[in-house]
Amino acid sequence: MLMSTHTDTTDVAGPKRRFGLRIPTTLLLLLPGLAVFSLFFVLPLAILAVNSFHGYSRLSGISPDFTIENYVLALSDRYYIIILTKTFSLALSSAFFTFLVGYPVALYFYSASERQQGWIILLILSPLLVSVIVRTFGWLVILGPNGLVDVVFKAFGLEGGSILYSQTAVVIGLVNVFLPFFVLSVATSLNAIDPAVPLAASSLGASPLRVFASVVFPLSMPGIASGLLIIFSLSSSSFVTPALLGGSKFRVLSTEIYQDALVLQNWPFAASLAIILIFIVLAVLVAQNTFVQHSRYRVVFH
């Protein structure tokens, strides 16, 4: 069993004070959080779930009867299955590419001096000061026909520089938007590594590459795992970036939900798509957890 060396269990006041808190007071302290959570998350989700089993007609509105028609349509129609597949593949690939781009940045942050770290954090966070919509419009210009990428491609006599309205374009946009979240998640994990551990590895004769592969990388796994999960769930539910950079050629669940909920006012069907989206994210969460529990690195997660 791993035991943290920082908790000083011999502190006289420590355990006594912690367990002296009477239960009603603990509950009282939890109450605001619980109230907000159930009122603004659990309750709306429950309403959404109930709504997804209702029928809808454009002339008479939502009918209160119980039907599984919405789910049958969403999970059997080829059109929606393609959209489900695309959503899944978009979330996976944007998580993967954020990892490829973000991990070296986090590693650089880890090895930098404390003063440099401040600047790096500032640089990493600065894109968050600009709204996602503005940044996405920027990509629209860069990736579109006669945009920067297209012009460079044409200068070399190449075709296909205009990659707007494709999965590639959406992934580029999402990686740009989500990079800070991933870098911060991994950097936190890296910074928690006791500097003595990699030093011990090198003093025992490990090459820098070996130190990275056997010590630093495995110890940063919790950060990678939570970062990937954050990016996966954010990507699968993102709306602005797929709507603008994917356009009508690259449709995902979120843009489909928008059309059904807002344009067509078919809230029950939109609700069923939203519930399916939640289950996709939940399934990935469970899968990742199971993987972590059985991997050889499971020890670093405790």
Residues that bind another protein (CB under 8 A): 17, 20-22, 25, 28, 58-59, 61, 79, 82-83, 86, 137, 140-141, 144-146, 165, 243-244, 247-249, 251, 255, 258-259, 261-266
Closest CB 271 distance from another protein, rounded Å: 13
Closest CB 58 distance from another protein, rounded Å: 6
Closest CB 80 distance from another protein, rounded Å: 10
* Of residues 83 and 172, the one with the C-beta less far from another protein: 83
Decide if 255 contacts 83 (C-beta within 8 A).
no
Closest CB 24 distance from another protein, rounded Å: 9
Decide if 280 contacts 63 (C-beta within 8 A).
no
Closest CB 91 distance from another protein, rounded Å: 17
* Of residues 17 and 210, the one with the C-beta less far from another protein: 17
Whole-number Å distance between alpha carbons of 279 and 87: 13
Decide if 189 contacts 107 (C-beta within 8 A).
no
The 3-state DSSP class for residue 115 equals: helix
* Of residues 49 and 101, the one with the C-beta less far from another protein: 49
* Of residues 180 and 268, the one with the C-beta less far from another protein: 268
* Of residues 153 and 212, the one with the C-beta less far from another protein: 153
Q: Which residues contact 27 (CB under 8 A, 6 or more apart)?
A: none
Q: Which residues contact 34 (CB under 8 A, 6 or more apart)?
A: none
Whole-number Å distance between alpha carbons of 92 and 229: 10
Whole-number Å distance between alpha carbons of 15 and 258: 52
Closest CB 114 distance from another protein, rounded Å: 37
* Of residues 21 and 128, the one with the C-beta less far from another protein: 21
Whole-number Å distance between alpha carbons of 85 and 253: 9
Decide if 180 contacts 124 (C-beta within 8 A).
yes
Decide if 162 contacts 140 (C-beta within 8 A).
no
